[in-house]
Structure 1
Amino acid sequence: MDKQGLIDMYKRGIDFCFRNQYPSNEFIKDNFDRQLLIENAMFIDESIDEFNSPSPCILLGSTSGKLSFDKFSSCDIYLRDNVDIEISAKDFSRVFINVYGSAKVRVVQDGVAKIYVYKHGDHCKVSNEGDVLIRIGEDY
């Protein structure tokens, strides 16, 4: 299997990977080209400013910055480790955010956009502005 196939498998089994913290961020950074990860919306220890990122979007390590969504965009976002990010959505966009570990996320909803946040554990921090649905998910 090539590296793209492994990334696809990681995305399909993301619950397993997050639950077992496998593979480690160090392994991913050492064995996958940074550009290939970015093309697959996987960010590890990056500073980002993304607009309408493809789904799923996976943020790991010490990634920080901002994700913005508008029009009819839709995205599943997974945050883990020490991620510190702001996510905004407007127009008719739909964003589904899963927060794990010690990740911090500030969520801004505008207009008729829908944002759903699933907190997995007591250590993650979620702050919101606007109409945001926050639910407690399975603790890993």
Structure 2
Amino acid sequence: MDDHGRGEYDEFVLHAGVAIERLAKAVLISKNPIYIAEMKGSAEMLFHLGGHRTASKIRTIGAAEAIARLSMLDILPVDRQLDLLIELRNGVAHTTSDEQAKSLLPTLAGTVETLHAELGGPLKAFWGR
């Protein structure tokens, strides 16, 4: 939020994307830890998250996949602005991100509110000051 207030929109979108990714994974874990398992390659993480084995390398899904899974669970609606925020965070959208990122503050706030509601607890605890 401080980055957005200072006009540092690249930093804002980076931190916003990380916050959303972590909250999205927290919501998935609250439903079932297996929901953050990366399904490509080895099944090692699947067994680790299922409690049957210690993983030698921790690999979980990324933000886009976490959001897609939350949409499958009808927790998050499909939201092109949220997808854009994650694309900008990942550097995938090769455009001038300042103006696009500037307009994504409501997307961040709404997504945080939706995800936080799934986790319970006061929303003020997330935002702090």
Identify whether the pair has TM-score above 0.5, normalized to the shorter chain. Answer: no
TM-score for both structures, normalised by structure 1: 0.23
Structure with the larger helix share: 2
> Which has the greater radius of gyration?
2
Structure with the larger strand share: 1
